[in-house]
Structure 1
Amino acid sequence: MVYVVDDDHDVRTSLHFLLETEGFEVRTFRNGAALLGSSARNSADCLVIDYKMAELDGLELSIRLRRLEVSTPIILITGYPDERIAAKAGSIGVRQVLLKPNLENKLTECVRQAIDSTIPS
């Protein structure tokens, strides 16, 4: 199961469709608070989180998830290429930072790798 967190309805819908088309089960959340408030926050195999969200950005959401001991791989997506974002994301255990637009192939590849890395051998 892949969870997508993005406050933009169109992006959320597009990512849901893309990942579902690639064979993933997908659940979407309209913002970080919705994910944090969900009892299923520990049930995902991979989290795809947008960086730029109104109330709680993707980095802060990732920090809060780690504090709650959610160890699920996180892929952060952003339209803002900034080395500081990538460095901070790496320091809190975000697996990958991907740039919008044109995420299609790279995102599905990263999600597959993230899920495969958590499956015991």
Structure 2
Amino acid sequence: AGGMFGSLGSQLEKELEKPGPVNDILSFCEEKSGIHRRYIVYCMNCVKAIESPSKDDDTQWLIYWVVFASLQLFEACTLSLVYYLPLYPLIKVSVVPGFCLRVCYFTCDVGFANPAVL
């Protein structure tokens, strides 16, 4: 996942703020949706990955969104419990993503590779 997000560093942030047609489009999208432009770029990259013939980038983005949705759902369901865990942000950053990635990868790999499922 490092390769997927490594290119979206500070240089990209600077490029997204440069005046020009891309900035105008992103500003419009940002204004209408209320979503910051760096997240709009993630969505645009997902669409590009889906439209590309390569399967590797699709799998990478699928895992990203499944982990993201899982964490959001977990936090929504256990908000009152999470509030009382002082180390929850540290646990979330260090332990949960690795576990979710493993579960998601093996679930997707077994489910989609099995001819009986198809």
TM-score (norm 1): 0.32
Choose between structure 1 and 2 for higher RCO, CA contacts under 8 A separated by at least 6 residues. 1
**Greater strand percent: which structure?**
1
Higher helix share: 2
Rg comparison, structure with higher value: 2
Q: TM (normalized to structure 2)?
A: 0.33
